[in-house]
């Protein structure tokens, strides 16, 4: 019964995240084709600005609400909502006051008004209801599914309307505001408890104790997820030797968004499923290890499935989705796909540490990951191409994953083999995909790239089945059950 509930929850969350990421993908494709790469680059600076303050001020209160044993206490939730409201007010004020310097940094003084309006986004977000997160403690995912799905669909419809009307970077501003407003309203609509704000001293202290490493981690996440784009966007102002422009930021952003979308879907679904799953057995070593390796195997396989087709056929995907004006992204999109795949693999040791109340694992591994920005700065300053920006990100993610796994073994006694074996199988598949790309075989046609990707993914699946007996038994059970259903159906229709 519990297994059935888990499967249903997985399907619901996968559907929700699929709707979110597909909607975001369609919006990006529509806007990228409608407006110029330069305008798309200006729109990307809005995301960078909001993301900087959001990540820097995040204390992971939504995850604490799930992880804490007393997370169901009403006063705890009220305190978290009060902290979020204050955070949103503060971030909105900072964005409004810094609108001038930010528009100057990106050399777009004409967008000063837009940066000031952008202050609405964090303010609105701070008024969202936390019941959607609290209910995940009991594996109740319907509220969060409804919030994310309804918001995604409505914002996608708005993107078409506003895009055809404005046809400029302004559409990306108003979409950001609209998305946050809709999400906030729907979160209240599907809440079970009334929305209340109350600051409790003891709970506030716990939030800070849990979240202070995440404050540092938020800055690191910004450097990781947005730092390269900040460098590219500000290159004309900061690095005279660089030939990069806002149009290059637009090209890099479409490739970045395309490869990030499936990663975010997998990361969000696995976080919602695996964090409570691991938290429940955090003090039972054998069961924790058994669940951990199942999670690691799952995310490693998913990392292969989403990265290999892009590594092999990224050039064809860019041409098909975004058109010829973004063709340059095909030269580095494979590196970005590999980078995001390694980040997916890092989800498992991060969640395992968090399930044991350790938020420093994420912070420390992200310190390692953020060092890649130094390489990005050097390559951009010296006038290197965007390929080297993507390569820096991949190497940074690889080192960060190693750091996360080593800390998990040292402080929580999770054997290295449980982490490294699934990762090694996945990375081998990506390595074979890279060799196919370097050989030039995938450039001969999209059908060849598709066929090569399918063969590589099949090889990785077979390797997983061979290496992990539990996985082999699970696959065999599914196949046997399917064959039994087919036989039963045939017997039902066989004439007497």
pLDDT digit string, tens, across residues 201-220: 888 888 887 777 667 767 77
pLDDT at 96 exceeding the cut of 90:
yes
Mean pLDDT across 266-282: 80
DSSP class of 56 = H
pLDDT digits (tens, 9 = 90+) for 124-164: 998 999 888 888 777 777 888 888 889 989 999 999 999 89
Nearest partner of 359 among 238, 469, 215, judged by Cα: 215
Instruction: Pull the structure tokens for residue 380.
Output: 């951009």
Name the pLDDT band for 166 (thresholds 50, 70, 90): confident
pLDDT on residue 492: 40
* Radius of gyration of the chain from its Cα atoms, rounded to whole angstroms: 23
Q: Is the pLDDT assigned to residue 184 strictly greater than 70?
A: yes
User: How far is CA 383 from its chain centroid?
Assistant: 29
Q: What is the DSSP letter of 324?
A: G
Q: What is the pLDDT of residue 493?
A: 42
Query: At 31, is the pLDDT very low, low, confident or very high (cuts 50, 70, 90)?
Result: confident
The confidence score (pLDDT) of residue 480 equals 55
pLDDT band at 1, cuts 50/70/90?
very low
357-360 long-range contacts (CB < 8 A, ≥24 apart) are: 357/67, 357/210, 357/282, 358/411, 358/412, 359/60, 359/210, 359/211, 359/213, 359/214, 359/217, 360/213, 360/407
CA–CA gap between residue 467 and residue 422 (Å, rounded): 9
Q: What share of the chain is helix, strand, coil (3-state, %, to 5)?
A: 85, 0, 15
Q: If 0-12 CB within 10 Å is exposed, 13-18 middle and 19+ buried, where does residue 22 land?
A: middle
What pLDDT sits at residue 3? 52
> Residue 458 pLDDT more than 90?
yes
**What integer best gives the mean pLDDT of the chain?**
83
Q: How confident is the model at residue 495 (pLDDT cuts 50, 70, 90)?
A: very low
For 417-449, write each residue's pLDDT tens digit: 888 999 999 999 999 999 998 888 777 788 888
Its pTM surpasses 0.75: no
Domain boundaries, the chain: 1-225, 237-468
Inform me whether the pLDDT recorded for 476 exceeds 80.
no
Supply 170's token pair: 């302004």
Tens of pLDDT, residue by residue over 305-324, are 999 999 999 889 898 888 88
Q: What does 413-447 look like in DSSP terms, one character per residue?
A: ---HHHHHHHHHHHHHHHHHHHHHHHTTGGGG-HH
Q: Give me the half-sphere count of Cα atoms (radius 13 Å) on the Cβ side of residue 446.
A: 7
Per cent of the chain over pLDDT 70 is: 91
**Tokens matching residue 100:** 């001038």
| Both tokens assigned to 191 | 């809440």
C-alpha 487/C-alpha 377 separation (Å) is 62
494 pLDDT band, cuts 50/70/90, is: very low
Instruction: Write the CA distances from 23 to 12, 198, 254, 266, 436, integer angstroms.
Output: 16, 36, 15, 15, 31
């Amino acid at each position: 019964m519990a297994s059935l509930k888990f499967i249903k929850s997985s399907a619901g969350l996968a559907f929700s995240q699929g709707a979110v990421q597909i909607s975001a993908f369609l919006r990006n494709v529509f806007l990228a084709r409608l407006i110029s790469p330069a305008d798309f680059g200006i729109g990307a600076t809005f995301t960078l600005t909001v993301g900087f303050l959001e990540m820097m001020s995040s204390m992971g209160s939504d995850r604490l609400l799930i992880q804490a044993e007393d997370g169901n206490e009403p006063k705890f939730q009220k305190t978290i909502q009060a902290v979020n409201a204050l955070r949103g007010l503060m971030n909105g004020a900072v964005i409004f006051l810094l609108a001038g310097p930010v528009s100057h940094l990106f050399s777009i003084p004409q967008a000063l008004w837009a940066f000031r309006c952008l202050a609405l986004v964090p303010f609105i977000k701070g008024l969202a209801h936390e019941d959607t997160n609290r209910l995940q403690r009991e594996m109740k995912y319907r509220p969060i599914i409804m919030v994310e799905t309804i918001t995604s669909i409505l914002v996608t419809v708005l993107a078409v309307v506003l895009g055809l009307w404005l046809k400029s970077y302004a559409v990306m501003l108003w979409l950001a505001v609209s998305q946050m407003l809709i999400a906030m309203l729907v979160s209240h609509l599907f809440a079970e408890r009334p929305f209340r704000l109350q600051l409790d001293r003891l709970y506030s202290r716990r939030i800070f104790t849990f979240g202070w490493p995440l404050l540092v981690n938020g800055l690191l996440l910004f450097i990781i997820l947005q730092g390269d784009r900040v460098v590219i966007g500000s290159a004309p102002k900061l690095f005279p030797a660089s030939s990069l422009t806002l149009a290059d930021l637009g090209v890099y952003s479409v490739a970045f968004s395309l490869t990030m979308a499936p990663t975010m879907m997998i990361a969000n679904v696995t976080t919602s499923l695996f964090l409570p799953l691991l938290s429940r057995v955090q003090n039972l070593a054998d069961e924790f290890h058994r669940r951990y390796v199942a999670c690691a195997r799952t995310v490693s396989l998913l990392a292969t499935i989403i990265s290999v087709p892009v590594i092999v056929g990224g050039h064809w995907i860019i041409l098909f989705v975004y058109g010829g004006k973004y063709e340059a992204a095909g030269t580095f999109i494979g590196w970005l796909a590999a980078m995001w795949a390694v980040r997916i693999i890092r989800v498992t040791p991060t969640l395992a540490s968090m399930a044991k109340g350790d938020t420093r694992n994420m912070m420390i591994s992200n310190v390692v990951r953020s060092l890649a920005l130094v390489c990005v700065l050097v390559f951009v300053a010296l006038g290197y191409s965007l390929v080297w920006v993507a390569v820096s990100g991949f190497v940074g993610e690889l080192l960060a994953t190693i750091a996360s796994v080593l800390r998990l073994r040292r402080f929580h006694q999770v054997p290295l083999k449980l982490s490294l074996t699934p990762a090694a199988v996945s990375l081998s598949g990506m390595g074979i995909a890279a060799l196919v790309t370097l050989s030039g075989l995938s450039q001969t046609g999209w059908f060849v790239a598709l066929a090569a990707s399918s063969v590589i993914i099949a090889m990785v699946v077979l390797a997983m089945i061979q290496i992990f007996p539990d996985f082999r038994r699970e696959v065999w059970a599914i196949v046997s059950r399917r064959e039994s259903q087919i036989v039963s159906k045939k017997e039902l229709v066989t004439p007497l």
